[in-house]
Amino acid sequence: MPKKTNVLLAWFVAALAVFLCAKSQAHAAPQDTPYPAMASLNQYLMRSDIEIALARSAAPKSISDDAQVMVLGPHGYTTGARGRNGFLCLVERSWGAATNEPEFWNPRMRAPICFNPAAAKTFAPIYLMKTTLVLEGKSKPEIIRNIASALDKNELPALEPGAMCYMMSKQQYLNDRGKNWHPHLMFFAPGDVAKTWGADLPGSPVIAANDPEEHATIFMVRVGHWSDGTPYSPTVH
């Protein structure tokens, strides 16, 4: 896959992006932006039992069955199922991506993600805060300022070493172009540190995207199986 395409997918990846996502996608001209504003809230919501099952599909059952699961409601995420292993699974929506992404408001986006304990405590809170700001009707500049202020003032926790997540759901919909793309793992590191991982170099399996809005670099490593154990195949797209 060409480097440009890898970076395009590196949040959805998602992205959160994100998640999730296409963290370093080139800016689109306003007239080319397919989702210029937030859709009605109902388009982003799901029935809770369906959302819990989708969230758990992010990781193998040996992990996700004992994970906490959060579901999206009108005022933010709440606990849909309690966990026992420190992992946190949820379904990210489109605002897991950077605010300059053309699909930031795409209501079709569903990115099941399962954070390990370190990421659940120190990276997921960024997305959860962003969700609250979105549902409060904050503008993109306001979202950026609020997140930056919270990070600078240590109101959000510092990223812990070893923070990572699983994004291995066959049902994931990362964006309109990537769709379910590829099962993968994501690793989070503070700052802009892509070079220290050898990411994006010829022959390297590691894809990186610097995420300045979240003060982190997101690394992706594709894996060969979906969370249900079935092998990845391009025909799944």
Indicate the pLDDT class of residue 115, thresholds 50, 70 and 90: very high
**C-alpha span between 92 and 164 (Å, rounded):** 15
CA distance 65 to 127: 22
Q: For 176, list phi and psi in degrees, rounded to 5.
A: -70, -30
Q: Would you place residue 234 in the very low, low, confident or very high pLDDT band (cuts 50, 70, 90)?
A: confident
Share of the chain above pLDDT 90, in %: 77
Domain hosting 16: range is 3-236
Q: Which residue has the higher pLDDT, 108 or 31?
A: 108
pLDDT of residue 32: 67
Torsion sign across C-alpha atoms 57, 183, 97, 214 = positive
In order of 14, 59, 91, 116, 125, the CA distances from 185 in angstroms are 11, 9, 15, 11, 19
Q: Which of 76-90, 170-184, 207-221 has the lowest mean pLDDT?
A: 207-221
Query: In angstroms, what is the C-alpha Rg of the chain?
Result: 16
> What integer pLDDT is reported at residue 212 of this predicted model?
84
Residue 86, exposed/middle/buried by CB under 10 A (0-12, 13-18, 19+)?
middle
The residue with greater pLDDT, 29 or 134, is 134
**pLDDT range class, residue 211, cuts 50, 70, 90:** confident
Count of structural domains, the chain: 1
Q: Which of 22-31, 47-56, 74-83 has the lowest mean pLDDT?
A: 22-31
Region 100-121 average pLDDT: 97
Res. 25: pLDDT tops 50: no
- pTM for this entry: 0.85
Average pLDDT over every residue of 34-60: 97
Q: Which of 133, 104, 32, 114 is nearest to 67 (CA)?
A: 114
Q: Is the pLDDT of residue 77 over 80?
A: yes
